[in-house]
């Protein structure tokens, strides 16, 4: 049976400021301007890259019954991402964020998501059935952004369901993608991170994420906070420190030969390639090498999702290990 992944999270409508898109007579400092519309979300980006890497993946979220939500569903299906676990809520809408560029090209984000459908996913009549379905997947993947959109009770239900699924052999992969604006304060974030670390089989993290929560700590101190048996710790330079049963390793990305265009989804694509490689039987070092290769490619293109033709050629892996229940 083909290995499968459940990605849990939120995809939002994205408004991106068009270059050179100011209306006549209006300067860039006056607001306004032309915007292009797309869709974006960290775990959704990972799901798309997993599907392109021939992993069977479902996206678990809630959407409205509006036309924009219909477009999202159609786009995900076209990429091969399963949508059978998407709950549709009457009268609701997806969240929205806007990317605005300053004179130096730096990005600023504005969010409208407080009433988005995805925030209700853990508090619906369909929630129990959705959470029980996690037992049927080889891997459950989510990020800290995912956890930030649920209330405390919703996070508790999700963690309880993940623990039940792990008893049947499902592995939990946690990505620490940290955005301070999504949390009421850092103390709450630290508490939730600790719970996720304790429940995870694999943690994908970075100095950027953890230093925002634990400022001033060394790499060794940050890694010591995470008890999970398999850890990928990405540094500010293109290097990953790995810890796994039986050893540790340092994996350095190959030198870039093309210019960096946009770093959006570098971590999301790394996660997809790492998970795909691990499911296909690669060891953590090989998986991290695959992660760096895909991330290095993704950042050479604008936007989170690169054109399909730009994806790397398929690579054969060893057969994945059989699922085993957690003792």
Q: Is the pLDDT of residue 66 over 90?
A: yes
pLDDT (0 to 100) of residue 304: 81
- Residue that is written with structure tokens 């649920």 in the block: 150
Pairwise CA distance, residues 127 & 234, whole Å = 34
- The superfamily in CATH containing domain 4-10+41-92+118-310 is Ribokinase (3.40.1190.20)
- Per DSSP, 117 falls in state G
Q: Locate the DSSP E strands across the chain.
A: 4-8, 12-17, 35-40, 56-64, 86-89, 96-101, 107-112, 139-143, 171-175, 202-206, 230-234, 239-244, 247-252
Pairwise CA distance, residues 246 & 102, whole Å = 48
pLDDT (0 to 100) of residue 24: 39
- Per DSSP, 309 falls in state G
Least confident of 13-22, 108-117, 256-265, 277-286: 13-22
Catalytic sites, residue numbers: 268
Q: Is the pLDDT of residue 294 over 50?
A: yes
Q: Locate the DSSP E strands across 167-302.
A: 171-175, 202-206, 230-234, 239-244, 247-252
pLDDT (0 to 100) of residue 53: 95
Alpha carbon distance, N-terminus to C-terminus of the chain: 23
Average confidence (pLDDT) over 205-229: 95
Pairing of strands 35-40, 12-17: antiparallel
pLDDT band for position 119 (cuts 50, 70, 90): very high
Least confident of 1-5, 131-135, 142-146: 1-5
Average confidence (pLDDT) over 241-247: 94
pLDDT (0 to 100) of residue 2: 61
Q: What angle do CA 12, 177, 275 make, to 5 degrees?
A: 95
pLDDT band for position 315 (cuts 50, 70, 90): low
Average confidence (pLDDT) over 290-310: 87
Predicted confidence (pLDDT) per residue in 139-155, tens digit:
999 999 999 999 999 99
Q: Locate the DSSP E strands across 149-246.
A: 171-175, 202-206, 230-234, 239-244
Q: Is the pLDDT of residue 93 over 60?
A: yes
pLDDT (0 to 100) of residue 23: 41
């Amino acid at each position: 049976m083909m290995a499968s992944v459940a990605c849990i999270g939120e995809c939002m409508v994205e408004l991106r400021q068009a270059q050179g898109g100011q209306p006549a007579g209006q300067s860039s400092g006056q607001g306004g301007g032309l915007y292009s519309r797309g869709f974006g979300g960290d775990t959704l980006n990972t799901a798309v890259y997993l599907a392109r890497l021939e992993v069977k993946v479902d996206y678990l979220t809630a959407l409205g019954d509006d036309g924009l939500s219909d477009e999202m569903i159609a786009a995900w299906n076209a990429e091969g991402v399963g949508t059978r676990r998407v709950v549709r809520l009457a009268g609701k809408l997806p969240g929205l964020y806007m990317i605005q560029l300053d004179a130096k090209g730096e990005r600023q984000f504005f969010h409208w998501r407080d009433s988005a459908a995805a925030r209700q996913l853990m508090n619906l009549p369909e929630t129990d059935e959705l959470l029980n379905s996690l037992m049927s997947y080889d891997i459950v993947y989510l990020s800290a952004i995912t956890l930030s959109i649920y209330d405390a009770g919703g996070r508790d239900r999700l963690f309880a369901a993940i623990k039940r699924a792990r008893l049947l052999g499902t592995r939990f992969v946690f990505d620490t993608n940290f955005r301070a604006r999504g949390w009421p304060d850092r103390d709450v974030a630290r508490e939730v991170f600790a719970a996720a670390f304790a429940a995870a089989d694999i943690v994908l993290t970075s100095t950027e994420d953890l230093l925002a929560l634990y400022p001033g700590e060394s790499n060794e101190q940050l890694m010591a906070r995470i008890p999970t048996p398999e850890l990928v710790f990405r540094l500010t330079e293109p290097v990953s420190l790995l810890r796994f049963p039986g050893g540790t390793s340092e994996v350095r990305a190959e030198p870039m030969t093309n210019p960096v265009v946009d770093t959006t989804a570098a971590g999301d694509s790394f996660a997809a390639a790492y998970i795909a490689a691990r499911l296909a039987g690669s060891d953590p070092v090989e998986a991290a090498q695959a992660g760096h290769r895909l991330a290095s490619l993704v950042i050479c293109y604008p936007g989170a999702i690169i054109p399909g033709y730009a994806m790397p050629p398929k690579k054969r892996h060893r057969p994945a290990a059989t699922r085993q229940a957690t003792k």
